Structure 1
């Protein structure tokens, strides 16, 4: 969970009411005015629904969209200038990378999109039979809009909070096991989910009270282009079968070497390692 300067609760209340179209008291039974966490784009408040269910509300901070668009415009212009004076940068598609970052960052501003991501990721965990070891929040659709995202609450400790982990871990090595689980789930999502979490760090991973790893904050996600996805799966298959030339071809397709490389020789070099 990140911590930056938070917005006062009166402003948060106005944003929620404007985005959801009703008074705060009509939407929630209770909202904690003190944020659980505050990041550059949004802050999160604990709340209780009229049904008694405990949730969290992610609220976009005012003025973020304008600042972000301006910063990204300068980044885009700067990238094009760099490629003009350093043509070798075109080989790594710096302008394309910047465009992808721009799309991802602007997409992060629409919490309806993040709500969709949560639904997809929960389905991935369930269908991959990973839901016994990992989880994520689910959106409350009727209390979600462009600037407000209401989600089920996960109770747990951030993996970056070493002291809290020592106090709450039920067994020795629980934190290390949680990190291993997170890596396994994330790597599986790269090839088996529609997207992968693109902002995985200790603040966005929880060791939940039920022992599972909780993935939170799905504002930024990544997607592999079909060519790269096929190369990643091909690399895994060739590793299992011991086909080193196929490994070489997959690595070339992923951009690990020039496309003109001799893949047969490359494969023999891999086998010799």
Structure 2
């Protein structure tokens, strides 16, 4: 894919970055947390060698792939302190725009027509310019205003080369470094590759826009721009233009003049709907991806990153969100443990106690306290220190709720997010259960029941026939049959040997009473031979039991 000098430069760039942070207090601190699970009280106020701002600038200098890596790391609270997570969460990849002649060439190649024929007008100056692509405002022949996202030339090749480099280096690190294994950095980079490859394909983002728009059609105050299929491809995405500003630019005067409580309620319900009902959620609702329109509506404008939750996980998340909203720490801990991977090092009691304390301490928090998402991030970090592996979706959910906390705090600082979660979860559950009672949802069950009833007579006939002929067999895989059989045989052999030794001793004692010319040590010789054989057998049997028996050896 690339020549050797380019590959050497990529290796050099990455290794230089790692050497800078490898010996820093920041890395040593996070390594200690990952390996030992211990955070000293002094570390909470620790000033690390590199500031969060310096880390952000270093990632920007590394290029677009590493900028995306930094954004992904902001969803891993188990790896970095809070101030670094916040800096990475706000990491923006504004770069110099691509010259318009290159943009024009890409559009015309992808759409197969001249830009002047496809659009009434097309603004040469982009509205925004990022590492993967840039956005231009345009107008279709129908007069409809649109936003056109155009991918940078050569960006796919650059990302794939960087990802190949990261794959090779992380695989090497996991093989040779215990810290790399503890961090599971190969899994982190595998997730990065998946996300990046999806973001590089604008067709997938167009599908995400359509699906989210369909799922949230009932919410009047939420806007998801629809893609224009005829003007889109894997490198060009044309969608409805939404006029508005970043939600962070909302003026204090506008906040005072308007009551946004209804809008906030709808936004919270919509995100809960995505997470626990649809299983498909906008995974990156940071303020930069949220527009606030002039008529007080909210637009979700970037669907490059989405999260998917399986039906089983949705049920667990319902229990989790309800437990948190009810300030039930013990139930929260039990739900998290049910979802987690545990081993012999897992400290379930300590985890449960600490989770209960965390939930109780934040019982009366409001939106301005930014507690809901922060609690999940805190629980993720706690799970790491107690050797409990939570599913990655909990990290994603924590990130979503943390961003949602920020937006809600901007619009309505006194909003009670916990009460809203409790109220909306119950309502969404009710709607979900009603939807599952629809006739079309029973078709699958009816088909399975039909197959069951059709096959039942034949199966019952075979079972009763086997029972009548004494051929019914029950196979149990819960135990190792060979091991059990060998164990019984070993016990039987030892009992038999013990009986033989006992018989030899009894026989020797009886022979002691019979006079004989053949003597050993002044005793009847035959009796002494049997006695010595019995003694030798007893010693050997005792040695085998004490020193060679598998269970006793393991206990030592």
Alignment of 1:90-239 (within 5 A): 90-126=181-217, 129=218, 131-160=219-248, 162=249, 165-166=250-251, 170-172=254-256, 185-186=270-271, 188-224=273-309, 228-239=313-324
Cα offset for 1:122?
Answer: 0.9
Secondary structure of the residue aligned to 1:75 is helix
2:479 aligns with none
Cα offset for 1:89?
Answer: 4.2
Alignment of 1:78-97 (within 5 A): 78-87=169-178, 89-97=180-188
Deviations 1:98-144 (A, max 9, x none): 11210110111111100000011112222xx4x22322211011111
More contact order relative to length (CA 8 Å, sep ≥ 6): 1
Q: Is the 8 A contact 1:228 1:253 kept in 2?
A: no
Cα offset for 1:252?
Answer: 2.0
Instruction: Give TM-score, length-normalised by structure 2.
Output: 0.43
More helix by share: 2
1:29 aligns with 120
Any unmatched runs of 5+ in structure 1?
Answer: none
Indicate yes or no: 2:157 matched with 1:66: yes
More strand by share: 1
| Number of residue pairs matched by the alignment | 265
Deviations 1:201-254 (A, max 9, x none): 222111112211111111122324566544322312445678765432321244
Cα offset for 1:159?
Answer: 2.2
Alignment of 1:13-28 (within 5 A): 13-28=104-119
Q: Aligned equivalents of 1:176 and 1:71: distance in 2?
A: 44
Secondary structure of the residue aligned to 2:162 is helix
Q: Aligned equivalents of 1:226 and 1:6: distance in 2?
A: 42
Any unmatched runs of 5+ in structure 2?
Answer: 1-91, 361-556
Q: 1:193 to 1:2 in 2, by over 3 A?
A: farther
Q: Is the 8 A contact 1:238 1:246 kept in 2?
A: yes
Q: Aligned equivalents of 2:354 and 2:194: distance in 1?
A: 39
Q: Is the 8 A contact 2:276 2:315 kept in 1?
A: no
**Deviation larger for 1-10 or 67-76:** 1-10
Instruction: Give TM-score, length-normalised by structure 1.
Output: 0.82
RMSD value, Cα: 3.2
Q: Aligned equivalents of 2:227 and 2:321: distance in 1?
A: 34
